[in-house]
Amino acid sequence: MAGRRGLSAINLTFLGTASAQPSLTRNHSALALRLNSDVWLFDCGEATQHQIQKSTVRMGKIEKIFITHTHGDHIFGLLPLLASMMNGAGGTANGIEDPRAHGVQDSSDPIEIYGPLGTRAYIRNGLKYTHTLLGAPYVVHELRLPSDPPDGDYTSLALHASESPNGRNILQTNGVWSDVYHDAIVSVSAAPILHSVPCVGYVVTEAPVPGKMDPAKYKPHLKRTNTPMSVMSRLQQGESIELSDGIILQGPPRRPGRKLVILGDTYDPSPIAELALSADLLIHEATNAHLPVLDSNTKAEDTFESVEERTKSRGHSTPQMAGAFAAQIGARQLVLNHFSARYPGNDHVDPTAKTIMEAIARLAGEHYSGTITCARDFMSFDVKEHV
């Protein structure tokens, strides 16, 4: 992230909010995080590139892709997206080598992809057997569990021509993957969360930001001692300045940066709880809910308990479970995501969407008193700075 001197805008755009099956109103999982103008993608379900085309997210600005787990509804869109982003091609008819086969020799920084074991094999095998050439390099860093085989990565294929050999296998320390990426402005850590297959939750943390400055507090001192007003920018950064009369001015203390917790599918995210503490924003799945009057698919024998038990047994959460976790970590804001195809996501297409989403938010609110929002496709908002 060289050249990005400081963050002011953090924007989230939901590109897909469906669980197992997409619907008319919800595409498979993908979320774009915009850090100023850079784009990081979290998951890349089928047709994510189509969703990007319909949104204000710019495909060419994607720098990193974080995969939560290798279930198809979170990764099936990755290969076509890479092919489009990186000027992919399918070879030449006359057998003359296509220069796009040599993406790894491209001088640009590789697109970085993070995910659990299997991510690298999925991409390498998929590119190989679809004869896909890429015009730019990529690299895959895998977040390895202690139970993963220490050697190998589920593929015996050699590196793809566009794959950088610098992909890391990142091991846990104290049960988490700390600082899998960091620069001066932002860092990413991760931890496993419990699902039916290995699954990862990501925590994106902004570095501490300059405190609020009250110029009136400093100006008289600067004038009195003929100190150039330009030192204000140093004070703003939290520095202390000694004036010619010996008085020391101390800039305002830095404030904590914003913290975003982006979870994949889960029936119990507790291994990430400590990393996620005091998040400004938690994105948590709520695949199924018990909505006896509103949801015509409700079975007569269903109860809250039976729906929760069934949801958990499939590796997923109810809104109440999401709300309870938001309360546990003291999150300021909760966004519910990854809904069953039976819950429509757009009022204009299905007039029941609003009523059902409000009911789902109320269920999460049984355990959580912060702001609750139900994600829908193309929902986009800025994460506010601390005041």
* All residues at 6 or more sequence positions from 154 whose CB lies less than 8 Å from its CB, including other chains: 117, 118, 120, 121
CB of 266 to Zn ion, least distance (A): 9
Residue 146, CA distances (Å) to 69, 116, 172, 176 in order: 16, 12, 7, 11
Nearer to Zn ion, 265 or 377 (CB): 265
Query: C-alpha angle with apex 174: 173 to 180, nearest 5 degrees?
Result: 35
Nearer to Zn ion, 30 or 222 (CB): 30
Nearer to Zn ion, 18 or 383 (CB): 18
Token output for 226: 């003929």
CB of 69 to Zn ion, least distance (A): 6
Q: At what angle do helices 78-85 and 119-129 cross, to 10 degrees?
A: 60
Residue 128, CA distances (Å) to 64, 88, 200, 269 in order: 21, 12, 26, 35
Contact between 18 and 285 (Cβ < 8 Å): no
CB of 35 to Zn ion, least distance (A): 25
Is 73 assigned a catalytic role? yes
CB of 126 to Zn ion, least distance (A): 19
Positions touching Zn ion (CB under 5 A) are 71, 73, 265
Nearer to Zn ion, 67 or 86 (CB): 67
3-state SS string for 301-351? CCCHHHHHHHHHHCCCCCHHHHHHHHHHHCCCEEEEECECCCCCCCCCCCC
User: With 0-12 CB in 10 A as exposed, 13-18 as middle and 19+ as buried, what is 49?
Assistant: buried
Of these residues, 38, 43, 73, 153, which one is catalytic? 73
Q: Rounded to an integer, what distance in angstroms lies between the CA atom of residue 144 and that of residue 11?
A: 29
Nearer to Zn ion, 265 or 280 (CB): 265
Residue 246 CB: number of other CB atoms within 10 A?
A: 7
CB of 334 to Zn ion, least distance (A): 18
Residues recognised as catalytic: 73
